[in-house]
Amino acid sequence: MSTSPTQPPPGPHGAENANNGSDTQLDIAVIGGGIVGLMISLGLLHRNMRVTIYERAPAFNDFSTGFAFTGIARQCMQRLSPHIVDALRRVNDWPHHEYYRYWDGHTPDTKEAALMFRMPSRELDYCSCVRSQFLRGMLDRLPEGVLRYGKQLVSYVDEEGSGKVVLSFADGTEAEADVVVGCDGIHSRTRQILLGEDKPEAYAGFTHKVAYRGVVPIEGVIAALGEDKADNQCSHMGPNGHVVNNSTHSNIVAFLHDPTPWPSPSLPSSSSSSPKLTTPGTRTEIQQALASWSPSVRALVALLPERLSKWAIFDMADHPAPTYARGRVVIAGDAAHASCPFHGLGACMGVEDALAIATALEVAWGEVGGGGVGIGIGRAVTEALQAASKVRLGRTQWMTQSLREMGEIYQWRYAPTGRDAEKIRAEFDYRSRVAWDFDVDKMVEETKTECERRLKLAS
């Protein structure tokens, strides 16, 4: 398949899908062409803004892993751009069973480990997809020339009073923009510059959790767990680890607690090097860690190939960012609040960020272009980005901390719950309610109100 995006048809706003070169558009640089970067870009294009995406990879990355999106995230996608929802609809997969189930994977039972609790799949309201397929669907909805590969950000200059933010890339080229949106992931270069390379909050930290992933024959999963478990998504919990099997792709993920330092820590660097998220691992490492676990889980792990990649999990729970915006630059998704994958919410928080940022910029551009405020575009977008940051800061940082704690809960390392099934379920339910009992319309209105308030004060 060609990696060149094709030209989509015009959207509801007519010109939303074309960077027509007009000077009457807000010019936005998006750093990073991942899930959140593409969603923000499509949302801004939908609002008739001019967008250029700068992606450090030399070509489309076909790396595949699973993503899950809540109903709240899908509401945000719809409000950002119908193109995003359409791309997801074409590749998504819905739960096949009424419940997600959480098992005691440690009890040395000769049959099945004990069921700890279950959660209704309709209530959780997840739909899942494969990352590469969803990315491809969104890429196909971008206009030609919007996405530029091989552009690794080295630095930017955002001087007060200057006409544009000036971006410098590792290939020696430069670019200018009215606004910069950093969606460059866990080890974000945009975040380092925005917060200061000497600040601990500019860097994600190792959580002492690692993940091993593998796809195995479904027949082996049935033999290990039985047909019922093999045909469902199950989480198997125990001391210092948990193992997830997903029926859709015969996918197994083993998460382990790792007390040792990660060999490639996150350190200040303006070079092309970044901390490596993977290192060679083995099935034997997992088997040794889970040697006392139930026979069924050990049989499941035995299906994995001997040679595996070990993925480090980094987050920003220890040193959260004090702000997501400074000047005409804002960060979103993992660049703003990198989090653990233990509740399937990291990408969902990024979708919410995207809608808040797009909303704030739309308000600011409408006020400046319509003569509603007596300030320049530079000051207007600065106030808009501060508004989006303020609205998003509390929720996302609570979620980052909660996801870190969920990893401890699943691995029976969280003192308030231990291995008590009822207490674990209560924590799961409470944290889920915070994530899913969320009013998207209220967030949008709060963003608009805060943006308008700041613009009025600044004028």
CA distance 154 to 171: 9
- Is-catalytic flag, 431? no
Domain boundaries, the chain: 27-458
pLDDT of the residue at 128: 72
Question: What string of DSSP letters covers 184-246?
Answer: --TT-HHHHHHH-TT-GGGS-EEEEEEEEEEE--HHHHHHHH-HHHHTS-EEEEETTEEEEEE
Question: What string of DSSP letters covers 158-185?
Answer: --TT-SSEEEEETTS-EEEESEEEE---
- Token output for 20: 């027509």
Q: How far are the Cα atoms of 54, 167, 168, 176 from residue 173, in angstroms, in the given order?
A: 12, 8, 6, 11
pLDDT of the residue at 286: 98
pLDDT of the residue at 93: 72
Q: What is the pLDDT along the chain (459 residues), one digit of tens a residue?
A: 333 333 333 333 333 444 544 456 899 999 999 999 999 999 999 999 999 999 999 988 766 676 778 889 899 999 999 999 999 988 877 666 677 889 999 987 655 568 898 887 666 677 777 788 888 999 999 999 999 999 999 999 999 878 899 999 999 999 999 999 999 999 999 999 999 999 999 999 999 999 999 889 889 999 999 888 888 888 999 999 999 987 655 789 999 999 999 987 655 544 445 668 889 999 999 999 999 999 999 999 999 999 999 999 999 999 999 999 999 999 999 999 999 998 777 888 999 999 999 999 999 999 887 666 778 899 999 999 999 999 999 999 999 999 999 999 999 999 999 999 999 999 999 998 888 889 999 999 999 999 999 999 998
Query: Which DSSP state fits 146?
Result: S
CA distance 353 to 346: 11
Beta partners for residue 127, in sequence order: 69
Strands 27-31 and 50-54: parallel
- Token output for 168: 């410098």
Specify whether the CB–CB gap between 307 and 282 falls below 8 A: yes
Q: Is the alpha carbon torsion for 39, 42, 43, 44 positive or negative?
A: positive
CA angle 138, 143, 144 (to 5 degrees): 115
Phi, psi angle pair for 129, to nearest 5°: -160, 170
Task: Give the CA-trace dihedral at 197, 345, 361, 43, to 10 degrees.
Answer: 120
Closest Cα to residue 101, out of 120, 125, 73, 86? Answer: 120
Which of 213, 283, 328, 379 is catalytic? The answer is 213
Query: Which DSSP state fits 382?
Result: H
Query: What number of other Cβ atoms are within 10 A of residue 333's Cβ?
Result: 31
pLDDT of the residue at 63: 65
Q: How far are the Cα atoms of 104, 121, 264, 420 from residue 423, in angstroms, in the given order?
A: 14, 20, 36, 5
pLDDT of the residue at 22: 45
CA distance 448 to 122: 32
pLDDT of the residue at 95: 61
Question: What string of DSSP letters covers 26-93?
Answer: -EEEEE--SHHHHHHHHHHHHTT-EEEEE-SSSS------EEEE-HHHHHHHHHH-HHHHHHHHTT-B
Q: Please, what is the end-to-end C-alpha distance for the chain in angstroms? A: 51
- Token output for 58: 């030399």
- The CATH T-level fold of domain 27-458 is FAD/NAD(P)-binding domain (3.50.50)
Query: pTM for this one?
Result: 0.90
